Amino acid sequence: MESTRDGAEPLSPDAIPGFWRRPLALTVDIIVLAASGATLGAFQGPFFASIGPSARFFGLAITVMYFTILNSRLLGGQTAGKRLLGIRAVGEDGNLLSVGRSMGRALVLLVPFSMSGDHMPVFGRTGFETVLSFGAGGAFVYLYIFNRPTRQSLHDVTAGR
């Protein structure tokens, strides 16, 4: 869940950011991560090319750590995008997330999307990754659009908040 305030009381509907603020914050975070990845690729491109499709795991690990650490209580529950748009990740009680909950939330959000496109070496070409990617993607969009009271999406709900 996202909040627009710092308190620890239960969230009121006024504390939940408007419809476009979360997607805009995610867009900013994607730009930050893409710029970081481009910079890393400029310096370590031959190494990543030499390990082939497994290099995607490096990108996934960096992205998971970005969202885990910044969305947790360690750094105030705000990624760069959330900070820019004045929102933060909090639990239903209004408290900042523990590192464990933040990581669970990040994994549920990121793993299905990392499986789209080329097959992942772990799964082979079973089609499992396609079903997981599109199924999770549909669930994210559906919940975000139609879960009007809290605007919680799949990664929010499964994080147990």
User: Can you give the residue ranges of every domain in the chain?
Assistant: 2-158
Report how far residue 42's alpha carbon sits from residue 26's, in angstroms, rounded to the nearest whole number: 24
Token pair for 44: 């370590």
Q: What is the mean pLDDT of residues 115-133?
A: 57
Lowest mean pLDDT among 22-26, 44-48, 62-66, 147-151: 147-151
> 16: alpha, beta or left, given left = phi > 0 and alpha = psi -120 to 50?
beta
Tokens coding 141: 């969009």
The DSSP symbol for 68 reads H
Cut 0.75: pTM above it: no
* Segment 47-64 mean pLDDT: 86
Q: What is the pLDDT of residue 26?
A: 85
Confidence band of 128 (pLDDT split at 50, 70, 90): low
Asked if residue 90 has pLDDT above 80, the reply is yes
Two structure tokens written together for 84: 């820019």
Q: Which pLDDT band, with edges at 50, 70 and 90, does 6 fall under? A: very low
Which residue is it, tokens 């030499």?
50
